[in-house]
Each structure stands twice: as C-alpha cells, then as structure tokens.
Amino acid sequence: MHGTTRPRPLATRDAGKLSGRVKVPGDKSISHRAFLFGGLASGTTRVRGLLEGEDVIATGNAMRAMGARIRKEGETWIVDGVGNGCLLEPEEVLDFGNAGTGARLTMGLVGSYDFGATFVGDASLSKRPMGRVLDPLRLIGTQVVARSGDRLPLSLRGPRVAAPIEYRVPMASAQVKSAVLLAGLNAPGTTTVIETVMTRDHTEKMLAGFGAVIGVETDGDGVRHIRLEGQGNLTGVADFEVPGDPSSAAFPIVAALIVPGSDVTIENVLMNPTRTGLIETLIEMGGLIEIINRRIAGGEDVADLRVRHSTLSGVTVPPERAPSMIDEYPVLAVASAFASGTTVMRGLEELRVKESDRLAAVAAGLAANAIAHETGEDWLTVTGNPDGRGYGGGTVATHLDHRIAMSFLVLGMACKAPVTVDDARMIATSFPAFEPMMAGLGAGFDDVAG
C-alpha cells in the first residue's frame, strides 16, 4: 500500500455544492476478465479504460506468469494471449495481494490444467474462505492442498484430463459460476452451470465476445442453465473498452444526491442490469438520476448519468436485489441517513464475508456519527433525517476496507461536523483517483494528524 505502513486518517467536511463532469475508473469485474480472457485467447486484445488498481494488476501479473505477454502503450493495454489450453506452469507463486476476485477466477482457470500452481495473498485475503470455488474444482479432478478451512496459501494441481461437470451453484455467487466456466474451457465436452438466482453475467457475455461457444437457457422457474463447450478456440478482441464501474460511480452519485445544490454528470457507466440495483433503489427513493446517451460498448450496456440533489424517502429494498448491489449497501446506508422515514435492507448475509464484516463496520460507522439504525444477522435499517442535523463528528474504523472508507467520506461531504476515517490508504485498491476526482467536483478533504 504505497510502501507505507502508517495509517492515513482522512476527513471530509461540508464544502458546499458538488458540480461538474467526471469519469469513474473502469469496471473492476470486467478489468479482471479482460486480462484473464485476453491472456488466454490467441492473438492480441487491446484494452482501453482498464481499472489500474492493485487487484487487477495482480491478475495481469498471474497471466504473465503463465505465458501471456502484457504491456501498456499510452492509455492502451496490449495483451498477447497464449491460446486456449496453452497456459504454462508458473515458475513462481501467484501473489494476488488483496484480490479475491482475481484469485478465485484464476483458480478456476488453472484448475483444469495438468500442472501445479500455488496461490498466496495478503493477510486479509488469507483469512477469506476459498472452499466455494475449490469444491467444484475437486469434482473435475483438481487436487487441492490448502490450510484448514480452504484458505490461502494453497496449491492446485489439475488432472491429466479434466472432467466436464454439471454444477448447481449453491449460493448466489458470480465468482463460483465464473470459476466453473473457466475450468470448463480446458475440459473436453460440455460444462454446465445451473444458477437459481441470476448474478452478474460478465463472464458469459465476455466469453461469447472472445469466441467461446456458450449458451444460456432460462427455464420456467427462472433457473439459468449455462452451457460451455470446452477446448474451443478463443480469439483476441482488437478494440475492447472497459465501461465505468457502477460500484465506483456509487460514491459521486450518492454525494450529489445528499449535498444541497449539487449537479454532477458521471460518464460511461456500466448499466448491465445485474449491476444497477443501487441506481434502481435510489430512483425509487426519489433520487433525480437521469440516464442519458445509452449505448452498447464491449457487449455491455453503458450510459451517462446526470445526478442532482434530491429529496429522498425511505424504502424497503427487496432482498432479491442484493446480488445486483452487494458492494453498494454501505453507501446506500449513507444515502438513507438523508431520507425521510426508514430504509430497510435485508438479505445481506454476503456482507459478513467481504473484505471486512461490512455489516458490522457500517453499523459502527453510523453509530459514530449519530445516525439512527438497527442491525441483525442479515439486515440493516436506517432512519433518516433529511437535513442531516446533528450528524458527523465521528471517526470510522475502516478495517482496511476501501468501500467503508469511501462511503463515510461521502457522508462527511453532507455533514456540518467533519467525518474522519481511520485510514484512507486502501482506497487505492479499487479507486486510486477517488480523492482528486471528488475534490475536483468541490468536496473538501483534510488530512488528520495521526
């Protein structure tokens, strides 16, 4: 983390209205996959708009270690892939730092190869369970040597010939679905993933874009059957543009809604329906969010969003919306603090196993800043006060979680008393330009003497 071990406390304060046009970083999920699929496909993929956070670069480094050639020219990343089925055994361990997505997807990718690969990560990633991805890999014949609880560091060795499987994903998880499909790329025959709750579908869309033979059927009960033909050719994409990350756009969107007088336009935001739960919810709450210039880029829906200060009302968020906005609940809790009435959020058990126990961290942050809330095992309610009177003045423990840090810095932009986060260094993992971008819109930041 920038080579410094000292925490960097940071505060925001009410600095008046926010206005201007901004672009948020490229989508993290799509950026990881651009390196994975580009590195695997034969030929060259040229990627613009890639999110250059530490997590995504770790995925690029892993693909390099297995034979892909990756370089940057100007604003474009050029990826020369090895060809499907042609990954090389890595000579060194694959270090994923804090990148859970990168680690889990790459485990899927290498799990069907007849070679050994060892995965390591930082202290936070080494605590996170990997069993949900390793269980289906064991079914295709992958040998796993891991710490108890299936945690990093761990080593995988794929079978001589991987068995294609039909796998029903036991929880709503795009990472598990994707890991199984990636393993299927190097298995003969057809790999099928059965998904009872639809999750983000970037893997399916992007694999088709790179030439994989993949089909999706949804039965009468809404259950998706995704079938992938293994050992087919993947071909590089000459001009791949990564759309802006809706999870990063969430911060300027909520800031503009809650800071009086604000009028902000966010360009090039991914509008894939599996990712727009927060925008849907904020519009239901009365948020003035205008969706303009809708278009298709890289097989995905993209648009610009014009967001103005709004009078918000509390809503009940349906639990089935959780998979499409799981990373956005912390910043939704902040928006809810400025809505009249109570906002009810249910189905949040996944937040307990993110970079931190995000549900506990959000509740503690709200408490530190005098915001009325209640929480349970998998739910949170926030009772708001539209003028935010009495809010702020607290210090929030981030638990090294970038989304907790950014969410509560947004809170401070609308409070009379400053809001401090105990450490802002980890924001670099997903959104290195967060501070300069928000400052450019008019937000006020103050470093706090540690």
DSSP tag of 349: G
327: annotated active-site residue: yes
Alpha helices in 269-318 (DSSP H): 277-284
**How far is 299 from 30, CA to CA, in rounded Å?**
11
**How far is 359 from 115, CA to CA, in rounded Å?**
39
φ, ψ dihedrals at 364, nearest 5°: -65, -40
Query: What does the buried/exposed string (b/e) look like for 395-430 if buried means 16 or more CB atoms within 10 Å of the residue's CB?
Result: bbbbbbbbbbbbbbbbbbbbbebbbbbbbbbbbbbb
- Mapped onto helix, strand or coil, the DSSP state of residue 78 is strand
H-run or E-run covering 235: none
Residue 74 vs residues 71, 77, 387, 431: alpha-carbon distances, Å? 10, 8, 45, 20
Query: What amino acid occupies position 309?
Result: H
Instruction: Count the helix, strand and coil residues of the chain and give each as a percent rounded to the nearest 5.
Output: 35, 30, 40
* 206 close to 222: Cβ distance less than 8 angstroms: no
Structural tokens at position 24:
């948020």
| Active-site residue, selected from the candidate residues 55, 201, 245, 327 | 327
**How far is 184 from 228, CA to CA, in rounded Å?**
7
- Active-site positions? 327
